[in-house]
């Protein structure tokens, strides 16, 4: 795409003309004043509000886009910006040279640089504008009764709920540090209700698709009269404008100054913690004046220190809503289990652990650090357990297997860390095989232990870490769980 700059306006050029330029070559992008008498297209308004999209994403004619720009209703930003000779992708924030490449561009007639880092969202290059909306926002209104939830909050949940509401209404930053199974989702309800009643647009973002799929029906059930957009790869709601959005953090790359309140769930989870582009996207998706609420059971060491030193505003929920203590992991040495696997064997104490669950009809999750090791164990265990399955991130039947586990068709489910969070089974025990592996960080082990004992009907669960040598992560995870139980007792949130 090329542009002609004339009389303080850009003209989108279908063909190349002598004075036309790529958008990256124009020093300052002009923004025409808003013409209140212009009959803007409501469909385009719904499509673009709070977004940053490519022209290829827009099912509208170039003439219509030009008319809306000329009348101040559409904004154009550079897709690729320069800081001296350094490149910056305005969509994902990438500045690493190795993530940029060149190609002969038919649209601008030049060799064009583009960002490979966010290529899955459509190619953004030196001649690509990011299109946004500058007119009035859609009026979605709100029903008289926004929240339809008959449950009750525990004392710990209620304190956190009040803080969330305060943060959303007063545009603050707040951390909710809540143990696994504390009922974080329910803690959000009052704040979401107050925000929507005040005309705010709210987003709940989480790193994993599984969590979006788990949250969506619960949020829709609590807010039945509010439109809720659920965004993940392949979602049908991709272009839905809604006062309440649930999205993976990857989907935030499409948003720009969209939300009055951003709730980041599982903020410690992969890939959010390691991909700077997702953290950049979270910042861009918020309005300049907005609230941000972080939810996690396992804040990193830096955040824990900031909380304890008073540098970060936070609320702790140290106990589950059912007032029972968290299951404390037991450490069990199992020898060189990988060597045994190579000999088509499993540690005897692990087999006894599994057999004990099968005898009493108790379902179990067994975590492995790597897929090949898990699949080898699956082959061995299938000789003893017919209704057993294994699941991992690339498994095309992942969702189906989780559903079968919930319906108790599967007695034993082997898994990688993909199920360390975001899924709930009412009555299970949990084992980790090879807990000494580097993949099992303190955060991962706390989350894994948090799969057990979540239901009020089955609040007790056994968590066993089978290992070939204790690690600091194992000890720290156990210490954190014990510490939370003590705090829960001290605050009278746990019944002894």
pLDDT tens digit string along 354-370? 999 999 999 999 999 99
CA 298 → CA 155, 266, 303, distances in Å? 21, 8, 10
- Answer for the pair 247, 205: CB distance below 8 angstroms, yes or no: yes
- Rounded to whole angstroms, the Cα distance separating 2 from 275 reads 32
Question: Residue 340: pLDDT above 80?
Answer: yes
- For the chain, give every residue range classified as CATH 3.40.50.300: 155-317, 330-490
- Rounded to whole angstroms, the Cα distance separating 377 from 158 reads 44
pTM: 0.88
pLDDT digits (tens, 9 = 90+) for 71-104: 999 999 999 999 888 999 999 999 999 999 999 9
Question: Residue 440: pLDDT above 90?
Answer: yes
- Closest by CA position to 184, among listed 172, 195, 192, 173: 192
| Chain Cα centroid distance, residue 246 | 9
Q: 155-317 adopts what CATH topology?
A: Rossmann fold (3.40.50)
Label residue 269 by pLDDT band (50, 70, 90): low
pLDDT at 397: 92
pLDDT at 85: 84
pLDDT at 207: 87
pLDDT at 466: 98
pLDDT at 271: 64
CATH 1.10.600.10 fits 330-490, yes or no: no
- Rounded to whole angstroms, the Cα distance separating 79 from 212 reads 28
Mean pLDDT of 445-453: 95
pLDDT digits (tens, 9 = 90+) for 193-213: 999 999 999 999 998 887 898
Percent of the chain scoring above 70 in pLDDT: 99
Label residue 437 by pLDDT band (50, 70, 90): very high
Question: Residue 270: pLDDT above 70?
Answer: no
pLDDT at 462: 97
- Rounded to whole angstroms, the Cα distance separating 100 from 41 reads 36
Higher-scoring residue by pLDDT: 181, 49: 49
pLDDT at 14: 76
- Min mean pLDDT across 127-141, 188-202, 256-270, 438-452 is at 256-270
């Amino acid at each position: 795409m090329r542009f002609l700059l004339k009389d303080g306006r850009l003209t989108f050029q279908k063909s190349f003309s002598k004075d036309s330029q790529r958008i990256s070559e124009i020093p300052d992008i002009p923004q025409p004043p808003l013409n209140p008498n212009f009959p803007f297209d409501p469909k385009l308004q719904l499509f673009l509000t709070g977004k940053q999209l490519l022209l290829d994403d827009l099912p509208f004619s170039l003439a219509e886009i030009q008319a809306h720009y000329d009348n101040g209703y559409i904004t154009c930003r550079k897709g690729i910006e320069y800081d001296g000779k350094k490149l910056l992708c305005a969509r994902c924030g990438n500045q690493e040279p190795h993530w940029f490449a060149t190609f002969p561009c038919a649209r601008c007639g030049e060799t064009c640089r583009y960002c490979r880092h966010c290529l899955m969202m459509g190619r953004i290059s030196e001649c690509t504008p990011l299109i946004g909306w500058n007119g009035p926002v859609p009026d979605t209104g709100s029903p008289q009764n926004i929240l339809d939830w008959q449950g009750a909050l525990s004392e710990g949940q209620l304190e956190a709920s009040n803080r969330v509401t305060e943060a959303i209404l007063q545009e603050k930053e707040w951390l909710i540090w809540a143990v696994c199974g504390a009922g974080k989702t329910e803690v959000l309800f009052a704040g979401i209700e107050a925000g929507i009643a005040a005309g705010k647009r709210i987003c709940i973002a989480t790193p994993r698709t599984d969590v979006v799929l788990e949250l969506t029906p619960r949020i829709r059930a609590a807010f039945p009269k509010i439109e809720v957009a659920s965004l993940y790869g392949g979602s049908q709601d991709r272009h839905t404008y809604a006062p309440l959005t649930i999205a993976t953090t990857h989907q935030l790359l499409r948003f720009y100054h969209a939300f009055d309140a951003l709730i980041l769930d599982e903020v410690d989870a992969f890939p959010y913690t390691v991909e700077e582009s997702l953290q950049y996207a979270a910042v861009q998706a918020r309005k300049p004046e907005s609230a941000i609420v972080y939810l996690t059971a396992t804040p990193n060491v830096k955040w824990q220190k900031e909380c304890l030193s008073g540098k970060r505003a936070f609320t702790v929920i140290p106990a589950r809503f059912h007032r029972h203590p968290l299951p404390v992991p037991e450490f069990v040495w199992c020898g060189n289990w990988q060597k045994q696997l190579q000999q088509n064997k499993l540690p005897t104490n692990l087999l006894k652990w599994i057999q004990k669950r099968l005898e009493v009809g108790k379902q179990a999750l067994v975590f492995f650090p790597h897929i090949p090791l898990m699949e080898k164990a699956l082959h061995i265990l299938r000789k003893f357990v017919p209704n057993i399955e294994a699941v991992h991130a690339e498994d095309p039947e992942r969702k189906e297997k989780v559903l079968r586990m919930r319906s108790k068709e599967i007695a034993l489910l082997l898994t990688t860390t993909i199920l360390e969070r975001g899924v709930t089974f009412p009555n299970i025990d949990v084992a980790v095989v090879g807990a000494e592996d580097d993949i099992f960080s303190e955060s991962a082990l706390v989350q894994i232990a948090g799969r057990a004992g979540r239901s009020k009907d089955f609040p007790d669960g056994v968590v066993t870490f089978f290992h070939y040598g204790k690690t600091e992560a194992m000890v720290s995870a156990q210490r954190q769980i014990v510490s939370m139980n003590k705090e829960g007792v001290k605050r009278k949130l746990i019944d002894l």
